[in-house]
């Protein structure tokens, strides 16, 4: 009887280990672009993060004019710089999701300036950031260079 329980426990542990491994697997779709384009996208991402941090600081001190200003800098005008550079390089759905985030920030800026309601802004921010979360769950970006390197590596593994 004792043996049976031990066996069952071992089986459960093995199952947990297998499921944990399966969960760790990176299932995000890989977007392959040039190294320069990748740097450009990641730079924009970091600008989004630091802009949101500034918006939160301004919200905490109820400085709605500053909120509007920081939100506007993350709006559609932010995308013009990137347009030529990234034209056609990114999947359509990716671009659409990205653009809708910038549109959200224009709306956040307008509402912050007119309504001056920090709770409303927080709600908008939270809603819009669901798009950050959703996109990050779906995609990863590699440069063409990185991809060919990892292909070479897996090639080597096959022959070992």
Q: Which member of 32, 110, 131, 146 binds ligand HEC (CB under 6 A)?
A: 131
Q: Which member of 46, 92, 130, 159 binds ligand HEC (CB under 6 A)?
A: 46
C-alpha separations of 58 from 52, 121, 154 in Å: 10, 11, 48
Residue 94 makes contact with ligand HEC by CB under 6 A: yes
Distance CA 130, CA 104 (A): 12
Interacting residues with ligand HEC between 62 and 91 (CB under 6 A): none
End-to-end alpha carbon distance in the chain: 45
Q: Copy the structure tokens of residue 138.
A: 């779906």
Residue 50 makes contact with ligand HEC by CB under 6 A: no
Placement of tokens 């070479």 in the chain: 152
Residue 48 makes contact with ligand HEC by CB under 6 A: yes
Interacting residues with ligand HEC between 11 and 30 (CB under 6 A): none
Distance CA 21, CA 23 (A): 5
Distance CA 118, CA 98 (A): 24
Q: Which member of 66, 82, 97, 122 binds ligand HEC (CB under 6 A)?
A: 97
Distance CA 144, CA 30 (A): 11
CA of residue 8 relative to chain centroid, distance: 41
Residue 36 makes contact with ligand HEC by CB under 6 A: no
Distance CA 111, CA 49 (A): 20
Nearer to ligand HEC among residue 116 and residue 131 (C-beta): 131
Q: Which member of 61, 140, 145, 151 binds ligand HEC (CB under 6 A)?
A: 140
Residue 40 makes contact with ligand HEC by CB under 6 A: no
Q: Which member of 67, 70, 78, 98 binds ligand HEC (CB under 6 A)?
A: 98
Residues near ligand HEC, by CB under 6 A: 42, 45-46, 48-49, 52, 94, 97-98, 101, 129, 131-132, 135-136, 139-141
């Amino acid at each position: 009887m004792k043996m049976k329980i031990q066996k069952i426990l071992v089986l459960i542990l093995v199952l947990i280990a297998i499921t944990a491994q399966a969960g760790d697997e990176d299932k995000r779709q890989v977007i392959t672009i040039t190294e320069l384009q990748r740097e450009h996208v990641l730079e924009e991402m970091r600008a989004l993060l630091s802009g949101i941090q500034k918006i939160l600081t301004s919200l905490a001190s109820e400085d709605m004019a500053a909120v509007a200003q920081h939100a506007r800098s993350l709006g559609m005008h932010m995308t013009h710089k990137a347009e030529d550079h990234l034209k056609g390089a990114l999947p359509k759905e990716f671009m659409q999701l990205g653009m809708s985030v910038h549109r959200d920030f224009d709306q956040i800026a307008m509402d912050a300036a007119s309504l001056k309601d920090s709770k409303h802004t927080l709600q908008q921010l939270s809603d819009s950031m669901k798009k950050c979360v959703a996109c990050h769950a779906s995609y990863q970006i590699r440069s063409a260079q990185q991809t060919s390197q990892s292909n070479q590596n897996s090639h080597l593994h096959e022959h070992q």
